[in-house]
Chain A
Amino acid sequence: MHLSTLIANESATAAHHASFPILSALILVPVLGAVLVAVMSNRRPEWVKLTATLFAVGTGGMSIWLLSSFKSHEAGFQFVSQHEWISAWGISWHLGIDGISLFLVVLTGILFPLVILGVDPHHDEKRYLAWLLLLEAGVMGSFLSLDLFLFFIFFEIVLVPMYFLIGGWGYDKRIYAATKFFLYTMLGSAFMLVGIIATAALARHDIGYFTFDLVKIAEHASFATNTARWLFLSFAIAFAVKVPLFPFHTWLPDAHTQAPTGGSVILAGVLLKMGTYGFLRFGLYLFPAAAVWAKPAFLTLATIGIIYGAIAATMQTDLKRLVAYSSVAHLGFIVLGTFAITSQALTGSVMQMVNHGISTGALFLMVGMIYERRHTRAIAELKGIQAVAPIFAAAFMVVMLSSIGVPGLNGFAGEFLILIGSFETARWWTVVAATGVILAALYLLWAYQRVFHGEPDEANSSFPELKAREGALLLVFIALIAFTGLYPKPMLSRIEPSVDKLIAHVEGHSSYKAPVAHNHPAETTTHEGGE
C-alpha cells in the first residue's frame, strides 16, 4: 500500500516534530557507547570508564532535556519520529513519548549513569560497561516504541545484556538465575510474539494494509470480542512474567539476588517496569474491552501478589531476596492501579513505577554496599550496623520508609493514589490490598531491626561508614525520594493528561465507564459500604 504517503501525511499533522531526532538518539547513543567501549583497548581502564560514563550521562542529559521541553497538559505523543524500516512487513521505526512513558525514560536516563558511576563490577569492567550501555538502549527502546514489532524486539533484546550481567558478574548461583531469567521471560514473550503478529494480521482488515503501528491499530482496528481477549491474554502473559505478577514471579528473587548490584538496581529500577508499562501501553490501549473483561482476574492476581509477596519477603533470610520479594508486592500495587482504570489509580501506577525504581533501586544499592563490606547478605550474620554506621543506617531508613509508604516520601504518593483510585472500581480488592501496607512495615522493619539494631557483634563492629562517593550517590536517590513525595504535582500534571486520554480511549471502546466526580454522593453509596 502507500504506506509512505500515509506516514508522510501523519508526520505533517503531528505538529510537534523535534528537529533533532532526540528519541532515536536516546536509543542510538548508548548503542554507540557500547560499541565504542567494547572496541576500546583494555590498557587504559579509566578511559573506558570515562567513555561509558560520558555516554550514559549524555543519554541522561538528553532525557532530562526531554523532560524540560515536554509539554505538560498535553495528552498525545510528542517528539514523534517515524521512518520506514522493514516495509515488507509493515514495520516502521516509530518512536514517541507521552506522559506515561516520559518519566520511565527519564528514570532510565538517570539510573544508568548513577549505576555506572556508583557501582564497581570488580572485574572485566569494560565488558560490563558495554553490556550496561546496550541494556540502556534496549530499555529506552521499549519505552519509546510506538510500533508493536519495534517494542517486541527491544523488549526481547534486553534479555541478552541482562543475562550476561547476571551470569558474568553475579554471585554464586548466577548461572542458574541468569538462565531462569532468560528462559522464563522468553517463554512469556513467546506468546506475545504470536499475539503481536495476530494483532497486525487481524487489524489489516480494518486498516487496509499490514502494519504493526501501535497507534494505527489501537485507533482504527476493532477485534471481535473473543479474538481481542485471546490477543490480550497473549500480551498479558509476557507482561505478567516481566512484572512479575503472582504466580509468574519466581524468576525474580533468583535473578535479583544473584545479579550484581548494578544489575539488580537496573532490573528492579527499570526492567520490571517494562511489564507494567506494557500493560498500559499494549494492554489497555490496544485491547480496551478485553482488558476490562480481564480486570477481575488481574486485580485478584495483583492483590494476591501484594499480600503474598509481602509474606514471602517477611520470611526471607537473605536481605537481597527480601527486597526482591518486596518488589513482587510493590508491583502488585502497580498492576492493581492499572486494572482499576481510574484517573487516580492509573496516574498513581505510572508514578509508582518511577517511585519503585528509585526506592528499590536505592535499596539494592545499599544491600550491595553491605555485601561489599561484609561479604554476606544473610540477615542472621548482620547485626547492630546502626551503632557503627549511623549515616548509612539513616540513609537506609529513609529509603526504607519510602518503600513502606510513609507519607511525605515518594512511595506513599504513588501507592495512595493507586489505592484511592482503585477503591472506586475495585473496592474489595483495594481493601485487601491496603493491608499490604501493614505487611510492608512488618517485613522491612523486622529486617531493619535484625540488621541495624542491636549490639554489633565482632564481625559487624568494624562495619565502615558510608564513603563520600556512596553518600553522594544515595543523596541523589534520597533527594528524588523526598522531592517526589512532597511535591509530586509537576509529575502528576504531565502524567495525568495521557492517562485520562487512555481512560477515555478505554471508555470509547468498551462498556466500561470510569467513575465521575461525585456531586451527588448519597445516591451512589446507599447500597454499599459499612465495614
Chain B
Amino acid sequence: MSVTVLYFASLRDAAGCDRESLPLPASIQVLYAELSARHGFVLPAAKLRVAVDGAFVPWDSPVNDGSEIAFIPPVSGG
C-alpha cells in the first residue's frame, strides 16, 4: 500500500528529487506535515494546493493505494 508524491519548483529543490514512493499516509495533511519535517519545506500547507491523480482536490480528500499526490506551491506562470 503506497502512494507516489510529486515535487515541483522549490519543493523539488528542497526534497532533492522530483518524486518519491511512500507508504499510504493517514491523510494528505499528515503526509505534508511529515514531508515538511523531513525535507525542510518552508511553505506552510495553507499556501499550497494539492492534486491527486492529475486533478486538484480538497486537502481533506481521501488517498488510496497507488495514488499520485502532487503538492502545488504558489504558481508563477505568465
The answer to whether A binds B is no
Q: Which residues of B contact A (CB under 8 A)?
A: none
